[in-house]
Amino acid sequence: MKRLTEEQSHYYKLLSSDRHTSEQICRKATAYTLTPILGEPGWDEITYYQDSPFDQNGNPVPTEYVYVLANHSMPGMVKIGMTIRDVNTRANEISGTTGVPTPWIPVYSFKCFDAYKLEQELHKYFDAVRVAKNREMFHMHSKDAIDIVNKIGEKYTIAPLNTLISDFKTENND
């Protein structure tokens, strides 16, 4: 894990305990800062961060993925989930559990911002074809899942951010 200066942390995504569980913070954190606690010498507050959502030129960069997985043992079904890590690694983890007869195959990954929110929106959209309420599996063809991920996911990509930035610059230059 990388230690950041306060200046560097400005360009990273804050992992807030108000929004994330301790487990989520541990999984997502790639960097941290230490801030001395006033009045308590020798004690520091630790703040955790996720990968920088900006490149070296200050342009936004998506850092998360929503994926579509298929499994030969479950024809006509897909699994739609999210990860902040490599999609193949996540598919291997899921495939390694007991009760999965054949490996999950990543058929699509969609790089985005706030994959958790996009995943929730997709699950709600596909609720009528959900296999079970507590599962991320859906009765549908992978092509249909991919089409909807792209359609709904568009607002979680860089294009809407570039439009907002462009509109802001236009409004303030007039």
For residue 138, list its beta bridge partners.
Answer: 78, 130
pLDDT recorded at residue 85: 84
pLDDT recorded at residue 172: 53
Burial 15-32 (b: 16+ CB within 10 A, else e): beeeebeeeebeebbbbb
Give the number of C-alpha atoms closer than 13 A to the C-alpha of residue 72, restricted to the C-beta side: 3
158 burial class (0-12, 13-18, 19+ CB within 10 angstroms)? middle
pLDDT recorded at residue 147: 96
For residue 54, list its beta bridge partners.
Answer: 60
Which regions of the chain are under pLDDT 70? 52-56, 58-60, 158-174
pLDDT recorded at residue 53: 66
pLDDT digits (tens, 9 = 90+) for 3-32: 998 888 877 888 888 888 888 888 888 899
